[in-house]
Amino acid sequence: MDSVVEKLRILLGKNAVLTDEPMNGHTTFRTGGPADIFIMPSDLEEVRESIRILQEYDIPFLVIGNGSNLLVRDRGIRGAVLQIGGRMSNVEIDGEYVYAEGGVLLAALSAKVAENSLTGLEFASGIPGTLGGAATMNAGAYGGEMRDVLVSVEVLTKEMERKTIPVEDLELSYRHSILPKEEYILLRATLKLQKGNRDTIKARMAELGEQRREKQPLQFPSAGSTFKRPEGYFAGKLIQDAGLKGKTIGGGQVSEKHAGFIINIGKATTQDILDLIAFCQQAVFEKFGVMLETEVKIVGES
């Protein structure tokens, strides 16, 4: 492992390659054990060469963004975590077109396009993930989805080739795209927005922000909606009707404000969260015959 870390640090710099890095600092749940190696590349070539080094030593790796839809088990991640994050967050605007790297946070991207009087991304201003994660899972809120604004994405394939995929070939649907199945790593995306009034755009973003604060437990660490929306139902309503609002296991709790959110009310372990997820699934299934499926991705050593 030492020789791998040394090679990676020669490539990226010492501060961009960490060892035994606690994942609770890289997920919005604020839980999770350490990753053996944590890598923060700054461009395509660093991504490509980092992966080549890891493959040379047969070290498995996981690609993450902001960790806003991620639950890392308490024993952590064996192998490497490669973060497409703040070091890959450049944004360029040309008229109604936006060219952005996958590591830019949606909140920052939304603010930047608003400053440039571009409308269409207001729905994403409160989503706590990166552009890469949002495009990969077709994130959406308040009637908008990423497929409404995406033109194309640039990815790195398993064969280490750069490829541009138009939006119509991404098979975007509810919280789904072809990217995970094909093991594509999103590097950049092109968005098309519309010219609008800057004050109107900012007012809409402020309005949506207020709605979020009223309805969602934003003061607590979470991964947003814990469960996918079952066909014909709302997960939060099912959990609430099962009498689980406020249900607590360890430091995990079904939010009293919005039952669709499982939150970390203080020093929760990932196991607390997983136990609470399983409890909700069992209770809802017994009462309504509906099996809730997690929206959050669960990774790490069991």
Selection from 250, 292, 291 nearest residue 273 by Cα:
250
- Residue type, position 253, single letter: Q
**13: CB partners within 8 A, 6+ apart:** none
Sign of the four-CA dihedral 100, 104, 107, 111: negative
Selection from 166, 170, 174, 99 nearest residue 131 by Cα:
99
Is 225 known to be catalytic?
yes
- CA dist 29 and 252 (Å) reads 10
Choose the catalytic residue: 175, 204, 212, 229: 175
Is 295 known to be catalytic?
yes
Is residue 75 helix, strand or coil? coil
Is 73 known to be catalytic?
no
- CA dist 187 and 280 (Å) reads 36
For 122-149, the three-class secondary structure string (H helix, E strand, C coil) is HHHCCCCCEHHHHHHCCCEECCEEHHHC
Choose the catalytic residue: 89, 125, 177, 225: 225
What is the set of active-site residues? 175, 225, 295
